[in-house]
Amino acid sequence: MQSAEGNFSLGLWASVFDVCRAACRPAAIREETHARQAIAANLLPADAVKTDAEAFHLWLSLSEPWTRGEFVERLRSSSVGVVASDAFALGHAPQAVRLGLGAAA
């Protein structure tokens, strides 16, 4: 919390982070992000993918016969960065996985 001694509040840090996220991110990183998103878009069914063009991950909805557990196990054995939706769910987890596009697993 902010005090008379000059400590920063969480709100101020959030504002600083938002400004830096937009202004401090090098163009090369944005280009790489877009390139990786384009590769994923060419390989995966569009109706099963949820993502943001600036993200280093995407959500992939799974269709039968796949389950999250089987899919994660198969991809991890192939060195693909993947996490089942269970890790992010507060309640019922959908049959989906989060695929990492940022770094080699």
Domain for residue 13, yes or no? no
* Structural domains counted in the chain: 1
Domain for residue 53, yes or no? yes
Domain for residue 67, yes or no? yes
Domain for residue 78, yes or no? yes
Domain for residue 62, yes or no? yes
Average pLDDT for runs of 10 along the chain of length 105 = 48 62 70 88 92 88 92 84 89 91 66
**Across-strand partners of 83?**
98
| Residue owning tokens 């600083």 | 16
DSSP tag of 9: P
Range of the domain at 49: 27-100
b vs e for 38-73, b when ≥16 Cβ sit within 10 Å of the residue's Cβ?
A: eebeeeeeeeebebeeeebbbbbebeeeeebeebbe
Q: Please give the pLDDT value at position 80.
A: 80
